Amino acid sequence: MTLIYKIAPKSLWAEALAKGQFDGAPVDLADDFIHFSTSEQVRETASKHFAHQSDLLLIAIEAELLGPQLKWEPSRGGALFPHLYSALATKQAAWAKDIPLRADGSHDFDGLLT
């Protein structure tokens, strides 16, 4: 089992839960796919795109459940990132956990990644 991760504002995930699917954050909608990160990539993703943002969730998804709509494509520095070319059924989330914000504006992933 390979877990991949989505960082999302709590409010956006709450909306998704209400309708049963996550269509993506604004950046995902603009790019026509949902951006995910691996456990090795998620800290850099948080620091690059979410620095100083509170009220975020780390949402874990089992990659194998997403089927052929999940593509591994080169991005930052040529690393392969998981991109989902469909909406995500919220029931596919293994879990969603709060990401604590440290005083310096960075996110504390200690104990979150499994």
Pick the more confident residue, 105 or 94.
Answer: 94
Within-domain flag for 107:
no
Q: Please indicate, yes or no, if residue 105 is contained in any of the structural domains.
A: no
Residue appearing with tokens 């930052």: 76
* Domain-embedded: residue 31: yes
Length of the chain: 114
Q: In this structure, is residue 64 part of a structural domain?
A: yes
Six token digits for residue 16: 């998704």
The answer to the question of residue 74 being in a domain is: yes
Q: What is the DSSP letter of 102?
A: -
42: containing domain: 3-98
- What DSSP assignment string belongs to 59-72? EEEEGGGGGGGEEE
Q: Is residue 103 in a domain? A: no
> pLDDT for 38-88, tens place per residue?
999 999 999 999 989 999 999 999 999 999 999 999 987 888 999 999 999
Q: At a CB cut-off of 8 Å and minimum separation 6, what does 54 contact?
A: 101
Given a cut of 90, whether residue 109 has pLDDT beyond it is: yes
50: domain CATH number?
3.20.170.20
pLDDT for position 79: 87
What domain count does the chain have?
1
In a domain, 50, yes or no: yes
CA 48 to chain CA centroid, Å, is 13
- Rounded CA gap, 6 and 55, in Å? 14
Please state, in angstroms and rounded to a whole number, the distance separating the CA atoms of residues 42 and 58: 9
pLDDT at residue 29 above 90? yes
